Copies of this chain bind each other. A is one copy, B any other.
Amino acid sequence: MHDGKDFALDPRLAGDTHFVGDLQLSRVLLMDDTRFAWLILVPRHANLRELTDLDIATQQRLLSELNRCAHAMQSLFTPDKLNIAALGNVVEQLHVHVIARHMQDAAWPRPAWGFGEREPYAPDARDTRLDALRRALEISGA
């Protein structure tokens, strides 16, 4: 699937993340925060805010891609719990978080959103993580 006409990634999402790759529907992003293994999926259609803005077939495609990301996160990070959430109180563009949470992580058991300050990846750690995610998701970063 090509990008939907007029799709443009929200600049705040772009600024807080690294590009992992594109699935059929969704752009997959890595939150630039070493405290959490944290993906964000953004369906590449213009003018989406709510899950209910997608027709049911496209929602099912998103669900399938969420499963793919969830399994990759479980395989790579063996989380104690996945947090899967579409919030959008700050960034309106529809996006879904998939966060691998651990009982030892900085925010546990609180939500990761708005918790303290991001701790950006150093370039080598970022590249290592992106490579691992692309392999687990079987997508290219091109």
Main secondary structure of the interface of A (DSSP, over half): mixed
* Contact residues on A (Cβ < 8 Å of other chain), bracket: 20 to 34
Q: Once the chains are docked, how many angstroms separate the CA of A84 from the CA of B108?
A: 20
The answer to whether A70 touches B89, judged by C-beta atoms less than 8 angstroms apart, is no
Q: When the two chains form the complex, which single residue of B56, B92, B108, B113 contacts A89, counting CB atoms closer than 8 Å?
A: B108
Q: Once the chains are docked, how many angstroms separate the CA of A84 from the CA of B74?
A: 21
Q: Tell me if A136 counts as interface (CB < 8 A to partner B).
A: no
| Stretch of A33-41, A59-67, A119-127 that contacts chain B | A59-67
Q: Tell me if A114 counts as interface (CB < 8 A to partner B).
A: yes
Chain B residue at minimum C-beta to C-beta distance from A60: B60
Q: Once the chains are docked, how many angstroms separate the CA of A86 from the CA of B67?
A: 13
The answer to whether B50 touches A59, judged by C-beta atoms less than 8 angstroms apart, is no
Q: When the two chains form the complex, which single residue of B59, B60, B67, B85 contacts A85, counting CB atoms closer than 8 Å?
A: B85
The answer to whether A101 touches B89, judged by C-beta atoms less than 8 angstroms apart, is yes
Task: Show the binding face of A for B, using Cβ within 8 Å.
Answer: 49-52, 56, 59-60, 63-64, 66-67, 70-71, 74, 81-90, 92, 101, 108-111, 113-114
